[in-house]
Amino acid sequence: MQSGIYQSLTTRKAAQQKSFAVLVDPDKVDDARMETLVRMSADARIDYFFVGGSLVISDYLDECVQFIKKHSNIPVVLFPGSPSQISKYADALLYLSLISGRNPELLIGQHVVSAPIVRQSGLEIMPTGYMVIDGGAPTTVSYISNANPLPADKNEIAMCTAMAGEMLGMKLIYMDAGSGARKPISESMIEKVASCIQVPLIVGGGIVTPEKAYLNCRAGADVIVVGNAIEKDPALIREISDAVHQVPVNI
């Protein structure tokens, strides 16, 4: 694995610095919206842009990534819903394996088919154990993945899944309640998972307040991802960024 984004994630984790990633769904933006989003994100000193969605219907992905690169220094990490969502203009790729599900296509099948394209992209590849947690109602990701989400109250299953993912070599664990989830992941589940892994822990899905972002970080999340809430109220970018960056270091 090349150094770069992953190095920055592990360095920040070692220093107990929490990170904030704004999720951009290329289907939901245009140049005008991107202009506002990138400007507000740079002002709020966010740490990463994640770009992707469970469905990407438009062909705005390359343009969207190029727009961010042209107008900011914020690293762009692809968060692909399918192997077609690859842009060589990004900095890195979350190479997701859906370890909470039992759908072989999303564990390894699609990876096999797309391996040459992924390698040729030249992107920094970050193997990521992706865990979809029940967010109270079906989300696009739970439907598209054709796999049961992990029950929201089964902290032990989440812990064992993350441990197994790490031992299989995953460099990141991403716990996701799904975009627009009714219920975000509980702090008790985040705490349980964080306590049993060494690799950085990304948490997203249904986070709509700075308070919840803060509490998730206190529970052990290293990176907070927010998409939906920001689409509705871009002022949240600053509020959530401040909350995440104010989490005190434990001595």
Does the footprint of ligand 1GP cover residue 76 (CB under 6 A)?
A: no
Which residues are registered as beta bridge partners of 196?
A: none
Q: Give the nearer residue to ligand 1GP in terms of CB position, either 23 or 65.
A: 23
Contact track, ligand 1GP, 4-43, x by CB under 6 A: -------------------x--------------------
Q: Which is nearer to ligand 1GP, 24 or 116 (CB)?
A: 24
Applying the rule CB under 6 A, the residues between 201 and 230 that interact with ligand 1GP are: 204-207, 225-229
Give yes or no for residue 176 binding ligand 1GP (CB under 6 A). yes
Per-residue binding string, ligand 1GP, 121-160, x by CB under 6 A, is ----------------------------------------
Q: Give the dihedral of Cα atoms 168, 169, 172, 175; nearest 10 deg.
A: -10
For ligand 1GP, give the closer residue by CB, 158 or 229: 229
Which amino acid makes up residue 76? V
- Other CB atoms within a 10 A radius of the CB of residue 12 amount to 16
Q: Which residues have C-beta within 8 Å of that of residue 233, sequence separation ≥ 6?
A: none
Helix (H) or strand (E) holding 12: helix 5-14
CA atoms of 37 and 59, how far apart (whole Å): 19
* Separation between Cα atoms, residue 245 and residue 101, nearest integer Å: 32
* Residues in binding contact with ligand 1GP, number by CB under 6 A: 15
Interface with ligand 1GP, residue 179, by CB under 6 A: yes
Which ranges of 90-249 does DSSP label H, i.e. alpha helix? 104, 110-120, 140-144, 155-167, 187-194, 210-219, 228-232, 236-245
- 193 contacts ligand 1GP (rule: CB under 6 A): no
Dist CA 93 CA 138 (whole Å): 26
**In terms of CB distance, is 104 or 136 closer to ligand 1GP?**
136
What's the closest the beta carbon of residue 17 comes to ligand 1GP, in angstroms? 20
With a CB cutoff of 8 Å and minimum separation 6, the contacts of 96 are: 79, 80, 106, 128, 130, 174
Report if residue 175 touches ligand 1GP, rule: CB under 6 A.
no
* Closest residue to ligand 1GP, based on beta-carbon distance: 204
Verify binding: residue 180, ligand 1GP, rule CB under 6 A.
yes
Rounded least distance, CB 213 to ligand 1GP, Å: 10
Query: Is 181 among the residues that bind ligand 1GP (CB under 6 A)?
Result: yes
| Contact of 78 with 117, CB cutoff 8 Å | no
Please give the residue ranges that form the binding site for ligand 1GP (CB under 6 A).
23, 176, 178-181, 204-207, 225-229
